[in-house]
Amino acid sequence: MIHFTVVKGAVAYCRVSTKEQASTNNSLPVQESKFNDYCTRNHLSALISFVDKQSARNADERPEFQKMLAYCRKDKKNISCVVVADVSRLARNVVDQGTTIAELKKIGIQLVSIDEPIIDDTSAGRLAANLLASFNQFFSDSLSEKTKFRMQAGVKQGRWLWVAPIGYKNEAKTIVIDSERAPLVRKICSMTASRLAMSSDRSRHSV
């Protein structure tokens, strides 16, 4: 009887968390290229890539990350590993990283970090993963603190730091009336107020 060896495939998870990363070594095309190269070198089938394009501090707020985990649970027999460019793509806090690695391990799937090959299931590899998780969380927390401080300083200086509401437009760190949309907004508000008034009158007369 001839026995065939089943070659499992790899799943990629990619994420860009800042605009700066979109144009640097952590851009999505770079991450996907690293994944494809890894699969080629290790004779693995590149099964699917899950890509989160927006920033989120927690795993629950990343839809593609959740889809990746669901895919792994469903097709675990065909998956050898989940591949990330580096562990900061996987998580930016200690709890999320530890929980994810533990869940993948439980269903027989290894986490592979291309830029951090020291991470494995040895005691030294687990120590390296924990240290990297701590550094990544520190970086994320520190960046969040600096951003909040800068926003508070900007508000105190009278600057508008958000996208202008409809009827206004951003201009020179503040907002000004949008001459094209503002009249439409006024008209909509006026029509809404009129309908509410008419509805109120009907209610009074029907009593």
pLDDT of residue 1: 47
Give the whole-angstrom CA distance, residue 61 versus residue 15: 13
What percentage of the chain carries pLDDT values higher than 90?
38
List pLDDT tens digits, range 79-122. 999 999 999 998 888 999 999 999 999 999 999 999 998 888 88
Give the whole-angstrom CA distance, residue 154 versus residue 132: 33
pLDDT of residue 205: 60
In a 13 Å sphere around the CA of 86, the CA atoms on its Cβ side amount to 15
pLDDT of residue 7: 63
pLDDT of residue 192: 87
Give the whole-angstrom CA distance, residue 123 versus residue 128: 9
- pLDDT averaged over the chain? 83
pLDDT of residue 3: 44
List pLDDT tens digits, range 120-145. 888 898 898 888 888 888 877 777 67
pTM recorded for the entire structure: 0.65
| Listed residue (118, 141, 112, 144) closest to 131, CA to CA | 118
List pLDDT tens digits, range 170-182. 887 787 888 888 8
**Structural element, H or E, at residue 178:** none
Q: Which residues pair with 176 in a beta bridge?
A: 169
Give the whole-angstrom CA distance, residue 115 versus residue 112: 9
Q: Is residue 114 within 8 Å of 88, Cβ to Cβ?
A: no
Give the whole-angstrom CA distance, residue 183 versus residue 163: 19
pLDDT of residue 207: 54
Pick the range with the lowest mean pLDDT from 28-42, 69-83, 138-152, 176-190.
Answer: 138-152
